[in-house]
Chain A
Amino acid sequence: MKRLIIRKKARKNFITYGVVILSYIVLMAVIGAGSMPSALQGLLVPMCAYIVAALSLNLTVGVLGELSLGHAGFMSVGAFSGATAAMALADSGLPSWGRMILALIVGAVLAAAAGVIVGVPVLRLQGDYLAIVTLAFGEIIKTVVTNLYIGKNPSGLRFGFLNPDIGLGKGGMMLVNGPNGISGIQKISTLTSGFVIIIICLIIIFNLVDSRTGRAIMALRDNRIAAESVGINATKYKLMAFVISAAMAGAAGALYALSQNTVTANKFDFNTSILILVFVVLGGLGNMLGSIVAATVLYILPETWLRQFSDYRMLIYAVVLILMMLVTNSQKVRTLIGKLLPRKKASGKEGAADA
């Protein structure tokens, strides 16, 4: 019976990998054939970044069972540190893919550090405290980055806060310019790199969830008291999941920043955090493929197909959100789909047998 469960899980993971890889091949073929409109093509790399962000938040919300309302804050840390690293190395002679990988690593490491700082005190608490603190964290990061000045000159990087005069001297260059954010970013992240990062995130998440650690994390989610009674160190495992999630969000932020010309701190506000949470909730908590599909549909839709409705675009978007919520949760619709698909019956029996 246990083997059956493992095989079932492995197959589900295999389907997720398969969908991602096949979508990538299809997209590359369409781009190669030159039949993709540039509006859609320009959305693909940010879409990958949002998918990675949704996957990372799904790890916190779906697997760990804690609500994070400041995920855009981790993206912001990753975006600004990553883009700064990439721009500081612009003259170093590194190829663009090398700079991009470095930027992603810098973004992920710094976001993980931020995750540790937020997580250590807060994950010891019970209840909704993580949601409140991450909400505040997102706002703090936004304000800090808005007042942050980073420049480079021949002697190295210089940092300043509140005051733009950071003593760069002649020949220096401002990288992060307070409220103006970063402008003049070279777009060095590509669709391929985006898909590679999605696959890496999926590998990390699936292996974590299927490991001893992952089972400990999920046990904590389902019943903290029972889990602690068998000797699971709650803070340690929660922190582990949360920091991995923060690091992925940082990588997503760096990927996003390197796909834009200009990034400002205001981009990563509360609304962005909620947008990512919407991807996760509508895709299904703990369902990685669901997050990917929801992020794709909900990101692409308002920018392309809904444009024909001009002023009513966001109104229709809201209707789409509500419909998705109702349809995916409605027992009636599920039964209806179950009736339409003869195979569904068999799956129900199988599920019962597993339980």
Chain B
Amino acid sequence: MKKRLFALGLALLMVAACLAACGDSSSSQADQPASTGSSPESTGAAIKIGGTGPLTGGAAIYGNAAKNGAQIAVDEINALGGLQFELRYEDDVHDPEKAVTAYNTLKDWGMQAFLGSVTSKPAVATSTEANNDHIFFLTPSASSTDVLGGVENPLTETVEIPRKDNIFQMCFVDPNQGSASAQYIYDQKLGEKVAVIYKNDDVYSTGIYNSFASKAQELGIQVVSATTFTDDTSTDFSVQIADAKDNGADLVFLPMYYEAASMILIQADSVGYKPQWFGVDGMDGILTLDGFDTSLAEGVMLLTPFNADSDDEATSKFVSTYKEQFGDVPNQFAADAYDCVWSIYNAIKDEEIAADISASDLCDKLIAKFTSADFSYNGLTGENMTWDETGAVSKSPKGMVIQDGVYVGLD
């Protein structure tokens, strides 16, 4: 019996030690400055800004871009003196469950304002948490309407997810991208017959497709082929490409992230199909993909709010700093995150704010400022951006075309 008790004691000790170790480390981590992104001169008397994003895994390019972009903004702000910021990003591997843990880790750290999650699905989960805790949430790139809440489902005319009043977006919502793309194709007369390939197990892709399809119908754009793929079938597109080709589509709309789009471009090229390609902001990043022959992306059009080749002074400064620090050309996600940090700074710089303000008080101030009529922000991804109670940003997309391996603005 003694032996049993001994075994029982050992087992308990193990469980307890494990849980205690976990507990200790996350709380002690909270006290020390974050390894991933606190600026060297921060003295602790800084507003703590957190964010989650996929820093590892398949979508890592977005998370890291947003993290780097936000870091540049924080460094610039801290160099101004005055109000100081401290940034920490946690990895969520593009998984809502892990994103909530990442969010809770940031909460334990003492986060006062939240840059949300970089991708949509995790952001739906973290925005609900941030709403419950009343922490200000401004996401650079999570574009689903479920993130904001309060948007009517067009099929039922009911608001299924109530508006989360402290959640704001820096990017376009998905329906806006879809209808803006349809409008752009229609206005510029880019194609007679349009094919769409979209990813039907993805919130982002289906959201854009649905609004594109309804807008296209309204404008009388002829959609001759609409084919789908999923995560598991995102390597072979021969069926979808053949369908678009057989139906004589002269423009193919690709509302998806760039990895899948690059496969489509490669496979279409191998069967000699050369329609006009049209993408959305997820296409941004295709030129920096390892091992991708950028000549295949020649002539691809996409709608994105950010142009790294712009002559604009702020943009060129940002791009050169980014290149210097991280080695490549920033994409739209980096610019959005940069704008997020700066807009939060602009919203609170004129007010007397102590660095130890509670997250809830800061949230009230920021909501009031962001929704007030006289607040607007000029950044890399748009001029005179404003927000209203719905949380969506109002700014206009820029059309881009890839020429000689770089993005060139369309007018």
Interface residues of A (CB under 8 A from B): 11, 15, 18-19, 22-23, 26-27, 30, 35-43, 46, 139, 143, 146-147, 151, 153, 164-166, 168-174, 178-180, 183-184, 260-267, 269, 289, 293, 296-297, 300-301, 303-305, 307-308, 310-311, 313-314, 341, 343, 346-347
Could you tell me if B56 and A311 are in contact, using CB atoms closer than 8 angstroms? yes
A-side contacts of B105, CB under 8 Å: 37, 39, 304, 307
Contacts A266-B201, A346-B3 given; indicate if A23 touches B206 (C-beta within 8 A). no
Q: Known interface pairs A15-B7, A171-B158, A303-B98. Does A262 touch B200 (Cβ–Cβ under 8 Å)?
A: no
Contact B91 A296 (CB under 8 A): no
Q: Which residue of B8, B15, B124 is within 8 Å of A261 (Cβ)?
A: B124
| Cβ A343 vs Cβ B2 within 8 A | yes
A147-B200, A303-B98, A347-B3 given as contacts; is B35 within 8 A of A18 (CB)? Answer: no
B15 touches A293 (CB 8 A): yes
Residues of A within 8 Å of B98, CB to CB, are: 303
Query: Chain B 193-215, CB within 8 Å of chain A: the 1/0 string?
Result: 00000001111001100100000
Q: Which residues of B contact A146 (CB under 8 A)?
A: 200-201, 230
Q: Do B121 and A139 have beta carbons less than 8 Å apart?
A: no
Distance in angstroms between the alpha carbons of A168 and B157 in the assembled complex = 10
Take A46-B97, A180-B206, A303-B98 as given contacts and tell me if A264 and B155 are in contact as well, using a CB distance cutoff of 8 Å.
no
Residues of A close to B16: CB separation below 8 A? 23, 26
Interface residues of B, Cβ cutoff 8 Å to A: 2-4, 6-8, 11-12, 14-16, 18-19, 21-23, 25-27, 29-30, 35-36, 55-56, 90-91, 95-98, 100-101, 104-105, 107-108, 121, 124-125, 128-129, 144, 146, 153, 155-158, 160-161, 200-203, 206-207, 210, 230-232
How many Å from the CB of B376 to the closest CB on chain A? 31
Among B3, B91, B202, contact of A310 (Cβ-Cβ < 8 Å): B91
B99 to chain A, nearest CB (A): 10
- Of chain A, the residue at the smallest CB distance from B25 is A305
Which residues from chain B contact A308 at a C-beta distance below 8 Å?
25, 29, 35
Once the chains bind, are A183 and B146 in contact (CB under 8 Å)?
Answer: yes
CB contacts (< 8 Å) of B124 on chain A: these are 183, 261-262
Apart from A19-B8, A164-B155, A170-B158, 7 more pairs, CB < 8 Å: A15-B7, A40-B26, A168-B156, A269-B231, A304-B23, A307-B90, A310-B55
- A15 in complex: contacting residue of B8, B25, B232, CB < 8 Å: B8
**Cα distance A346–B2 in the bound complex, in angstroms:** 11
Closest Cβ–Cβ distance, residue B326 to chain A (whole Å): 14
A22 vs B15: C-alpha distance when bound (angstroms): 10
Q: Which residue of A lies closest to B64 (CB)?
A: A311
- Is A304 touching B153 in the complex (CB atoms < 8 A)? no
Looking at the assembled complex, report how far the CB atom of A12 sits from the nearest CB atom of chain B, in whole angstroms: 8
Interface centre among A40, A42, A169, A170 (most CB of B within 10 A): A40
CA distance A311 to B124 in the complex (A): 24
Name the distance in Å between B250's Cβ and chain A's nearest Cβ: 27
Q: For B12, give its contact among A19, A36, A183, A303 (CB under 8 Å).
A: A19
Residue numbers in A under 8 Å from B3 (CB-CB): 343, 346-347
Q: Which residues of B contact A36 (CB under 8 A)?
A: 23
| Minimum Cβ distance to chain B for residue A128 (Å) | 22
Flag if B121 contacts A168 (CB, 8 Å): no
Q: Please state if B18 and A310 are interface contacts (CB–CB under 8 Å).
A: no
**Does B27 lie within 8 Å of A37, measured CB to CB?**
yes
> How many whole Å from A296's CB to the nearest CB in chain B?
6
Roughly how many angstroms separate A311 CA and B91 CA in the complex, as a whole number?
8
Chain A residues contacting B203 (CB-CB under 8 Å) are 179-180, 264
Closest 7 CB pairs of A and B: A39-B104, A304-B22, A172-B156, A261-B128, A39-B105, A38-B104, A37-B108
Query: Which of A30, A262, A293 has the most C-beta atoms of chain B within 10 angstroms of its own C-beta?
Result: A262
- Distance, CA A151 to CA B153, complexed state (A): 12
Known: A171-B156, A310-B35, A310-B36. A265 touches B201 (CB 8 A): yes
Query: Is the beta-carbon distance between A15 and B11 smaller than 8 angstroms?
Result: yes
C-alpha gap A305/B29 in the complex (Å): 10
**Closest CB in chain A relative to B32 CB, distance in Å:** 10
Residues of B within 8 Å of A179, CB to CB, are 200-203, 206
Residues in A whose Cβ lies below 8 Å from that of B202: 179
Q: Which residues does chain B contribute within 8 Å of A178, judged by CB atoms?
A: 200, 206
- B15 to A19, Cβ gap below 8 A? yes
Q: Judging by beta carbons under 8 Å apart, are A183 and B161 in contact?
A: yes
B108 touches A172 (CB 8 A): no
- Tell me the nearest residue of chain A to B232, going by C-beta: A139
Chain A: CB-nearest residue to B18: A297
Instruction: Please list 23 pairs of residues, one from A and one from B, whose beta carbons are closer than 8 Å in the complex, sorted by A's number.
Output: A11-B4, A15-B4, A15-B7, A19-B8, A30-B23, A37-B27, A37-B105, A39-B104, A39-B105, A46-B97, A146-B201, A171-B158, A172-B155, A172-B158, A174-B156, A179-B200, A262-B96, A266-B231, A269-B231, A293-B11, A293-B15, A308-B25, A314-B56
Across the interface, A174 reaches (CB within 8 A) one of B23, B101, B160, namely B160
Partner of B100, one of A171, A172, A260, A343: A260
Q: Please give me the residue from chain B that is nearest to A347 by CB atom.
A: B3
B59 CB to nearest chain A CB (Å): 13
